[in-house]
Each structure stands twice: as C-alpha cells, then as structure tokens.
Amino acid sequence: MKQEKAVVVFSGGQDSTTCLFWALKQFKEVTTVTFDYGQRHHAEIECARNIAEELGVSFKVLDMTLINQLSANALTRDTIKITEEVGELPSTFVPGRNHLFFSFAAVYAQAIGARHLVTGVSETDFSGYPDCRDTFVKSLNVTLNLAMDAKFVMHTPLMWLDKASVWELSDQLGAFDFIQQRTLTCYNGIPAAGCGTCPACKLRSQGLEEYLERREA
C-alpha cells in the first residue's frame, strides 16, 4: 500500500484525525475529504482545514446540504434539543448519512485515482448508528466495487477500539499531544477538551482518563 493513494473521510475530530495520522504512515499520498451538510458548527470544517494544512495534505469539501432536504435533525436545526440519553438513537441521527458520505468519497477517490478509503467509524462505542457497523462497511465495500467496477479497499482502523485504545493508537503514532490540543469533538463546537458535558465530550474525556491511568500503571 506504500505506493498507493488514499482518501481519508475527515471531520477534524479525534477519530478521523487519528485515522489521518494512521493513513500518513500507510500510504504514499493521502487526501482528506470533508462534508458540508449545514451542520451547526461550521467551526468543525475550519478546524479540519487547519489540521490538513498543518499536516500538508490536500483537503476537499463536498457540499452535502442536499441531505437536509431529506430529513430534519438536531445537528442542522437549532430548535431541536440534542439527545443526551445514553443508549438511545441520538436526535443528531441522519439515516444513511455515512452511507451517502462514503459513497461520495468513493466517487471522488475514483476521480483522483485513489482506491483506498479510510474512515474512523467504530462499532465499539456503538452510538446507535447502523452505518457505523463493520458489517455495513464490508457490504458497502462490495457494493461500491460492483457499482464502479473498482477495487476499493475500505479501511476502518478504529472499528474494534474503545476510546481509550484510540488515544493509545494516537500515542503510538506520535500524535497524542497534537490530537489532544487540535481536534474538535464537542457537539457545542468547543475545541480540545470541549464543553465537557455533551455526550461526545464525555466519551472523549472518559477514554482519555482511562488511557492515562493505563499508561501510568
């Protein structure tokens, strides 16, 4: 794979930034693609762009505002409260969102001559999104290859890692400090440690504590 090109589906969060560092070790050339679907925090896109620039990889924003024609949701409508119950399907859910994103990423990859697709989805911290599951990704990989007569390989380096292990991986990749300081995970748009109270911040900080305890032990 060292001689090949990869496209990383990139949001500027902890997970996809870890994947970006991972991809930079695996592939000759890495491109990031991010999706603008009118999410509340445009800060997220700027954060992603800054990280890509700093790491010297190209950065492509694809306009996906079309998906808002199809379903109202809390990420794009400020009036809907973000669900905070653990275990429920979050109100931020756009059905099939990852399916659409990965499919566009594949068409883009083919256009630039890349066949490797990297995403940070994980089944471990299962959030109720069916299109984060391993079985979905494998099925989509087959479907894309049939759809485009292609040989895409979808990589999901975080699929079976819990958040503590994602921190561990970033440490192994020499990216621990960078990711802690520069990524944006928070639903309320606050970078690094974030607001500390939204579900995404809680997951991130719990994983970090767990990893730090493990590292010190």
The footprint of a second copy (CB under 8 A) covers 62-64, 66-67, 69-71, 95-96, 98-100, 103-104, 106-108, 110-111, 130-131, 133, 135-136, 139-140, 142-144, 146-149
Q: How far is the CB of 46 from a second copy (least distance, A)?
A: 20
Closest CB to a second copy among residues 23, 144? 144
12 is in an annotated binding site: yes
113 is in an annotated binding site: no
Task: Please enumerate in sequence order all residues whose Cβ is within 8 A of that of 195, keeping only pairs 6 or more positions apart, or say none.
Answer: 186, 187, 188, 201
Closest CB to a second copy among residues 3, 69? 69
Q: How far is the CB of 2 from a second copy (least distance, A)?
A: 26
Closest CB to a second copy among residues 96, 199? 96
207 is in an annotated binding site: no
Q: How far is the CB of 177 from a second copy (least distance, A)?
A: 35
Q: How far is the CB of 190 from a second copy (least distance, A)?
A: 30
Closest CB to a second copy among residues 128, 196? 128
Q: Report the alpha-carbon distance of residue 81 to residue 73 in Å, rounded.
A: 9
Q: Report the alpha-carbon distance of residue 103 to residue 176 in Å, rounded.
A: 30
10 is in an annotated binding site: yes
Closest CB to a second copy among residues 21, 59? 59
Please return the burial class of 87, using the count of CB atoms within 10 Å of its CB with bins 0-12, 13-18 and 19+: exposed
Q: How far is the CB of 192 from a second copy (least distance, A)?
A: 32
SS3 category, 33: strand
A 10 A CB-CB count for 16 gives 23
Q: How far is the CB of 133 from a second copy (least distance, A)?
A: 7
20 is in an annotated binding site: yes
Tokens of 165: 């292990």
47 is in an annotated binding site: no
Closest CB to a second copy among residues 50, 143? 143
Alpha-carbon dihedral angle through residues 9, 118, 50, 168, given to the nearest 10 degrees: 130
CA 33 to chain centre: 10
Q: Where are the alpha helices (DSSP H) in the chain?
A: 14-26, 43-55, 67-70, 97-111, 134-148, 163-172, 176-182, 199-216
| Annotated binding residues for ATP | 10-20
| Annotated binding residues for Zn(2+) | 186, 195, 198, 201
